[in-house]
Structure 1
């Protein structure tokens, strides 16, 4: 996950630094219809916005997903992980949308392998979160079980662990 975060930060930094490529001076005083379309700065700005939308929505959904306590039920954990799966799916879909964008061809050779790896990793996270959500759908017990400070934890159900 650290590698994905690092790659995302590098791509964002590249996109932010590339936006000031002098296009503003060339388009000064022109209306939107007179400005040239498809310039490199517009492509980068569009790609940057899609990329930021993907990870901002992902971050917002993640921040509310992990409020776990000892009183949290297993079903609630499954529901929260389902939200995580939905957030990851949104990020994955946005990256796939970025790849499908016709302007992506300008940066395709530089970014395609990184985006493909990120999409594959996000797909695996979505699948895992979906499995956990399905497995905990009918579980009503608490995450912490019925264990006090001086007691041993309850033994795990071997069948559920081996899946």
Structure 2
């Protein structure tokens, strides 16, 4: 189910001094094998598209019903700042998630990370070096977010 994060070509994002990912948190960031990533992608993101760039209105992240009213948030200012916390709008959207909630940071059908919400909240800046449309979803949760390289994110609800 997991492969060594050392096989990930961009593992440097988790080993930088800024943003710093503590060794304890790093040990809890799991890179899924390609087959496990594909299964999570199919189950949580899309059965038809392999990458967020190719989402259509048929994919739930693009559906109007999935969009949170006033759910477009800037993440880039907080990412560039010395503040380590996720912006308040994200925390409010995911307020029902416990720190032990299993979450998937889904970059594309072959690249998915599994981590707990607590670890993601502490390490989000490292993950957002991968900002080309990844979707964050929680296991058995309806809240989600899609991050864009423009520095904005869409808060979403999973709908089918």
Q: What range describes the TM-score normalised by the shorter chain of this pair? A: under 0.3
Q: Which has the higher strand share?
A: 2
State the TM-score, normalized to the length of structure 2: 0.24
Name the structure with the higher helix share: 1
Give the alignment's TM-score, normalised by structure 1: 0.24
